[in-house]
Each structure stands twice: as structure tokens, then as C-alpha cells.
Structure 1
Amino acid sequence: MTFRYSKSDFIEDITKTSGVTSFDDIFEKKWKELHNESNVFRYKLNIEKERITNGSYGFLLQLNIERAHNRRAPDTIETINQPFDSKKFNFTKVPKIEHIFDLRNTYDIDTSKHVIIINASPICYGHSLFCPNIDEHLPQIITFKSLELVSNIMFLSSNINLRLGFNSLCGMASVNHLHYHIFILNYRLPVEYIKCQHLKGPLYEMVDYPAKCFGFEMRTFSEISDVCSQVYKLIRFLMDNNIAHNLYMTKGDAFDCSTRRVIRILVWVRTSTVGAKEMSAFNLAICEFSGQFPIKNATDFLQLTEDDIISVLEKTTVPVFKCIRERVIDLY
């Protein structure tokens, strides 16, 4: 199935959105159909329990034991610039039945194949993978084109609960083939409203949050190319300096604290994870940095405190952020 969109399908200003878009309608119907009426998922999504931590941030903890036991084993990743290896699992090997649809626009010549497929081991409702240029066998490195494409998805959707994210190699990416995660989560995450301080030009930093990150915002569809250029400048710096990172797009409050809704683009720099190591309670990737924590076992679900989580977030992000902060500011 191919979802074809034109320029008239984009939401120019997300503050003024209402109703369900064609993208939302088709995407959610197909995801639910595959989840409920087929056996293509490794397990039926079953978040056994949820709770909000007591404290300033109110992190969302979700007990999802089946993901911990039934997901595909992650690749062993040794470097942030690891080349694509066709002998290993990649998304061209995913059966067609797991495809939600191909994404294609009607207004320019783009023969590349961009595909949304299910995540067979879902974290939450709607969890899927966007695989741009799937047949080109690109490694898990953000390209400028892919940034534009995922930004397009944000403006094709009116769902304020839809988020997109990227894990770099050595930043908890489990497959070395270019992909972004799509999530639908009916919960307002801390990173959607936490204050962001202006640094220089388009660059902000999130303050009063334990997972230090850089931020950018998109207010309208017409800003996509300019904002993506600025974000990509940071991504290239991180790649050139071998710094692991995670990127998250979500609809949240404007950085100037006005009532306007914007798309927040957040980039965390972090200590590298080398090999296929995983933590016992939770991994530290885009979901966790945003404030959503899929927990692997009942004991940790009950015992984890907000202070425990804050300590891990700070340890993973703050030293790297402080080390490169001034150099990143100089980029702008």
C-alpha cells in the first residue's frame, strides 16, 4: 500500500489543527489491523501496569516484560560510524505484511522508497519504524533528507500524541539501517513543556531537566528546510566528533513560553554504549530521555524512584553536554 500526499495535506500551523488527517486515519487503522488481526507482532502489546513517579518531573513508568524477553536481539555496535552490513538483519528483510505503507509525495521527483513498518516488539500503541530510502542500505546515520521527511510526517499528522525519534549507533540503536521510531502516547511528557533557554541563533538548551539536551523549534511547515539545516549542522558536528546522540520530535510548548504550540526537536548527547549491553531495569534511549520508561521487570517497576532515574539521566548526558556546549554554540 502507498500513501500519497500532496502539499495540501500538510498542516501549515499546528497550533490551529483540528480533526483527524488522512495520514492519522490510515496509519492508525492499519497498525491496529495488523496488531489485532494478524500474528506479525512478536507479542500483543500488553503494558501490565503504569505509574507516575513522585517528584518534580512525574516520569511515566510502564511495565512491559514481554518486550524485554521477546524482542529481536540487538546488533553488536562498535562505533558510531559503523558501515552497513548486508549480512546482518536489516529492514529490507522484513516481510511485506509488516509494512504499514510506503510514503510518497506527488509534487517532486523522488524515486526512493520510504516505508513505515510495524515495530514487531512495540513499546506502546502505534510503535512503528520509518525507514527512509530503505533500498539504499544506508547506515544508522541521520541524513538531511531523512530529517526533512520525518518533519513532513509531523506536519501530516494532527495527533498531538504522535512523536518521532532517532537513536544513533552507540546511542542504543539496535539495527544499523537508517530508521526512525514513531510512537503514539497519550501522556504529556516533561520534555514538551520544560523551559528551554536561548543560546544563540536557532539553538536552545533545556534547563531544569536532568537529561541535558540541545533544542530547536519549528513553528510552521514552511520552516522545515531552514530548521532541518540548522539541526543537521549539529548532527554533522556530532558525527565528526564521534559523539553518540538521540533525537526526538514532539509537539509541545514554544520555547518563549507563549501559548503557541510548536514542534520541539531535541538532541541529547550522551556517553556511548559499545557492544550489545543493556541495563537490567531500562535502556537509555529516546523514550527514556523524554520521560517515558518501559520497565523490564516487576521489581524495578515497583522500586525505582524519581531520584534513581535522575541520577542515571544526569550521569549519561551531563558530562558530554558540558564538554561540547561551547563548541556547539560556536557552530551558530
Structure 2
Amino acid sequence: MPLTLTRTPTIYSLNQLDADEPGCPLAALAGAKGVLSTPEKAVRELAGGASLLPLYTFPSADGFASKKVRSFGSFQDLAGAGASPGAGPAVPDVDEEGALLGTSDDDALSLDGSSDSGTQVVPQRSVLDALLLGEWEDRAEAGLFRYDVTACPTKLVPGSYGFIAQCNEGRLSKKRPTEFRIDQVAQSFDDGKFNFKKALQKEVLFMFEPAARRITKPAFQPAAAPRTSPSLVYINVSPIEYGHVLLVPRVLDDLQQLVTPDTLLLALQFAREADNPYFRLAFNSLGAYGTINHLHFQAYYLAAPYAMERAPTAPLDPSWGLGTGADGPAAASANPGKARRRGSTGVRVEQLAEYPVRTLVFEAGDSLQELAELVGTACQRLTAANVPHNLFIADCGARVFLFPNCFAEKKARGLIPEDVLETQVDPAAWEIAGHIVLKRQEDYDSVTQASAWHLLEYASCSEQRFGEVTRLALEGLL
């Protein structure tokens, strides 16, 4: 029996929320619904100033309202709870078909990935969380999606890493094909090809903007006039999972699919405002299976830990000679087990260990701004060097994974074996993070941890190349 990932109350629509719940921050939103004054017009027509869209505004203050808690714990925490060091993360026991062992059908994956005999860990609702899902369900009822993603079977792949597999045949037959070269990360914006200005306004859920004045809590307006170039949240009409949306910064500015510190900060703030560890964001550059050359981040809900989140981390190799000063090469050599940190707020920088794709891991200290500056600058450097890359944003914006993606290059050189090519899966951020979206039923039926690992390792660069890319991305920044 395939594993069913039990939905939590965080993904109910607005009209299902209990507005009378004591202390519920969503009481003021009960019954609220966004208003689109011109839903059948294209987004590009917002420039005329005659349309109204829903508006979510958030406090622009930096940092976290409270000390963050890593959503699914660290490998070291798991090792103390029965995992063997070096054996990979601990996950629930499953049978050969991915069903949980020793649990009833009513058991759900708890926040740390375990089953707790009917006890579910439910993240506190946030205003953005409820608004996004209420509006997303409204678009689903209106029939705006190309297929019903809730009908796609999903299961936990047996093994120590807990990869999640989904069979989504609609992603093969109904997803928009890429229109861009795969060997060039930076490409000029082409208004003639698909971009998010061409989408209809009814695909927009709301505008996402920092408040123009000082506020301490987020606010929602059902209808507001957009500024010159608003940042918008769209539905993904070819969704991977429940609540799949796109965050498009400054939609009318014709931004290429390139990350910068300021646009990454907006994505981190989006994750922080959602305040739900089941909600992650991802970015795919061109050449790393980004298919639209108009800046956007993807986001959706998955009520289970990703394999990447559960993988162990290790300090950066001191031989790479990164950084200067008290925490520079000499200090790293003297303390080879010490994680690299940057600045007074202490962004922590490590690398994944024992994972099929070599990856850098950034963890915020007290400042989202500093995290965005460091990772955004690293992405700009990779772009300048024409290195395709992906981002995966977890822990409500506090943790960012950055990985160069070599799959397209190896595919062009004929280095991918036929059994991998036959799956027609080109691993981008979600697959590499551990949510394997398979496009054929036979691949879904036969997927194993070994086959998932085999697929993903072709996206990884060599150890030597990873060191070169890391030095290129981070030299002088730490």
C-alpha cells in the first residue's frame, strides 16, 4: 500500500478555518477573499493602472521574530535517537511498497518524520499560510489547473534517506516545454517567448510587498492598486504538489531568471511569512532546468522531511582557502571541524556529506538580509562563470541549499546511461532535494533508494570541480 502523507490543518481553505479559535491570528481574515477587478486581462495590462489585485503586506524588519528551530532536526540529533553515524538519516520503517510499519492507517508523519501513534505536530497557522491556500483552492475549484495534482500517487521510498516519490504523468504531457538554450545561464529577456506578463490575472493569488510604513504584523487588502511593478504570487498551472505557487519579483521589470541578493531576500521573506516548515521554495537557473526566462521562485507544501534536509553536513574543506581574518584559512586549518561563519550575525556555511549531489548549506544567524547577500552574491558569481545551479529554501527561510547542476552538461556529452535517460526525468531543485517526480507509472512502481541515488548523482559535479565552484562562489565573502 502506498504511503499517504496526511494533510494537516495548515492546508485548509479559509472558509474551513475556525475564526472563533482563541488567539487565532486569522480571525480577521475569516471569510476574506481576494478581489480581481479584471481577471481575464493579462498581467502586462497592470501597467495601465486600472486593475485591482489582492495585496499582502509584511513588516520589513530584518531577522526572526523568535529563535528559529530547524524543522526536522540535524543528523547529529537523529544519531542520538538511534541512527548510526555514517548510515544516513533515520526515517520511519517502511515495507517494500513504502507503507509505514508498526503504525495504523490513521497515523501521520510527525514534524520530525516519525509516526507518533495518532499524534500530529501541527505548525501554528500564519496569515500568509491561510491566505495562500484559500486562494489556491479557489483557483482549483475554478478549473485553472491542467490536471488534478491531488490524484497523483505519492509514497515514501524505503531506505535510510526517505526519498519521496510521486507519479505525475501530467508533468510530461502537459507541462510547458523549455524555450531556451541549456548551455547558457544568463540569456536576454525575450518578450516574444512565454513570460509571466502573458498570464491572465486570474492566475494571480495576490501581491506580496513589504509595508510602506512601519508595521509589526502582516496586513491583507482584498483589493488594492498595484505599484509600478508589483511582486506577484501565481498558481503553477502544472503543479507538483498541493499549494504549488510561483513568486515573481517585480513582474513588469522583465527580470531574467537570475538570483540577486534583493530578489533572494524577497523569497526568504516569503518563506518566513508562511511560517510553515512544510512549505519550501526552490529556484532553477537556466541550464539547471529552469524553463522560463522570467525570474520566479517555486514553492509548495510537502508534509514530510526532504532527504536533503535530513542529510548530514560537514565543514568546508580548509584546503579551499576561503575567507580572511580570524575565521580565515589559518583558523580553518587549525580547527578543521569548525563550521564557517560570516559577519557578526553569523551565517553558518557547510557542505552536505553522504548525499548524491554535492551541495553548499547556508544557515541564517539573526539576519535574513545577510543570508540573502551572501547566497545571492554567490549565485551572481556562478552566473558570471556560466555555472548552472539550483536553490532549495527550507526552515521558513533560515536555511538555503545551493548546488551546481551538471546533469544537462553530462547529457549533452552523452555521459548519462540509457536507463536514466529513459525515465525522462531531468533533476532540478525538487528532485535533487529528495522529491522525485516520476513521469511514468513503471518508474514509480519500481523506484528504490538506489535508483533515486543513481539518478541524482549524475547531477553532481566531481569533488575537484565542487571545490573550484565553491571557491569561485565564496572567496573573500567569508
**CA 215–10 in structure 1, closer or farther in 2 if over 3 Å, else same:** closer
The 2-side partners of 1:144 and 1:9 are apart by 14
Alignment-derived partner of residue 250 in structure 1: 394
d(CA) in 1 for partners of 2:474 and 2:372? 17
8 Å contact 1:205–1:215 — kept in the other structure? yes
Unpaired runs of at least 5, structure 2: 1-53, 70-121, 215-226, 317-339, 342-347, 413-419
1:97-116 superposed matches below 5 A: 97-107=202-212, 111-116=228-233
Mean Cα deviation higher: 105-114 or 140-149: 105-114
Name the amino acid aligned to 2:149: L
Please name the residue that 2:437 is paired with.
294
The match for 2:381 is 237
Deviation (angstroms), 1:41? 1.1
SS of the aligned residue for 1:92 comes to coil
- In 2, distance between residues paired with 1:270 and 1:329? 17
- Aligned 8 A contact 2:368 2:398 in 1: no
CA deviations on 1:78-108 (whole Å, 9 max, x unpaired) are 4111111000000000000000001122236
1:86 alignment partner in structure 2: 191
Aligned to 1:44: 148
Structure 1 equivalent of residue 65 of structure 2: 12
8 Å contact 1:171–1:245 — kept in the other structure? yes
Residue identity over aligned pairs, in percent, reads 24
- 1:127 aligns with 244
> Cα distance, 1:326 vs. partner?
4.3
Instruction: Output the amino acid matched with 1:215.
Output: V
Q: Distance in 1 between matches of 2:175 and 2:429?
A: 17
Give the Cα–Cα distance (whole angstroms) in 1 for the partners of residues 475 and 264 of structure 2. 22
- Whether the aligned pair in 2 keeps the contact of 1:213 and 1:269 (CA below 8 Å) is yes
Change (3 A) 1:327 1:173: closer
What is the one-letter code of the residue matched to 2:447? L
Correspondent of 2:172 among 68, 79, 93: 68
Shift of 1:210: 1.1
> How far off is 1:15 after superposition?
3.3
**Residues 206 and 215, structure 1, Cα contact 8 Å, conserved in 2:** yes
State the distance in 2 between where 1:248 and 1:321 align.
18
The aligned counterpart of 1:258 is none
CA shift, 1:9, in A, is: 11
Aligned-partner SS, 1:238: helix
What's the C-alpha RMSD, in Å, of the aligned pairs? 2.6
Q: Which range moves more in the overlay, 5-14 or 44-53?
A: 5-14
* Compared CA separation, residues 91 and 249, structure 1 to 2 (3 A): same
Structure 1, unaligned stretches of length 5 or more? 253-261
Aligned pair in 2 of structure 1 residues 14, 41: CA closer, same or farther (>3 Å)? farther
CA 229–11 in structure 1, closer or farther in 2 if over 3 Å, else same: closer
Whole-angstrom distance in 1 between the partners of 2:428 and 2:261: 21
Letter aligned with residue 62 of structure 1:
Q
Partner of 2:398: 263
CA deviations 1:42-69 (Å, max 9, x no partner) are: 1122443222222221211011112221
* Structure 2 match to 1:259: none
Judge conservation of contact 1:144–1:232 (CA < 8 Å) in 2. yes
Deviation for aligned residue 1:6: 2.8
Equivalent AA in structure 1 for residue 371 of structure 2: V
Farther off after superposition, 82-91 or 155-164: 155-164
Distance (whole Å) between structure 2 residues aligned to residue 75 and residue 120 of structure 1: 18
**CA distance in structure 2 between the partners assigned to 1:309 and 1:322 by the alignment:** 24
Could you tell me whether the CA contact under 8 Å between 2:381 and 2:472 is conserved in 1? Answer: no
1:324 and 2:469 are equivalent in the alignment: yes
Q: CA deviation at 1:272?
A: 5.7
Q: Deviations over 1:109-164 (max 9, x none)?
A: 98531000000000000111000011000110112211110111121122110101
Query: What is the CA-CA distance between 1:27 and the residue it aligns to?
Result: 0.6
Cα separation, 1, equivalents of 2:473 and 2:59: 36
In the TM superposition, what is the alpha-carbon distance from 1:311 to its structure 2 partner? 2.3
Asked if structure 2 preserves the Cα contact closer than 8 Å seen for 1:14 and 1:155, the reply is: no
- Assess if the C-alpha contact under 8 Å between 2:161 and 2:310 holds in 1: no
Q: Which has the higher contact order (CA 8 A, sep 6+)?
A: 1
Query: TM-score, normalised to structure 2's length?
Result: 0.62
**Distance in 1, Cα, partners of 2:349 & 2:202:** 41
Which amino acid in 2 is paired with 1:181? Q
Query: Which residue of structure 1 lines up, in the alignment, with residue 364 of structure 2?
Result: 218
Contact 2:378 2:474 in 1 (8 A): no
Q: Distance in 1 between matches of 2:300 and 2:67?
A: 18
Matching residue's letter, 2:178: P
Query: More strand per residue: 1 or 2?
Result: 1
Q: Which residue of 1 aligns with 2:217?
A: none
Check whether the contact 2:407–2:426 (CA below 8 A) recurs between aligned residues: no
CA distance in 1: counterparts of 2:123 and 2:154, whole angstroms:
29
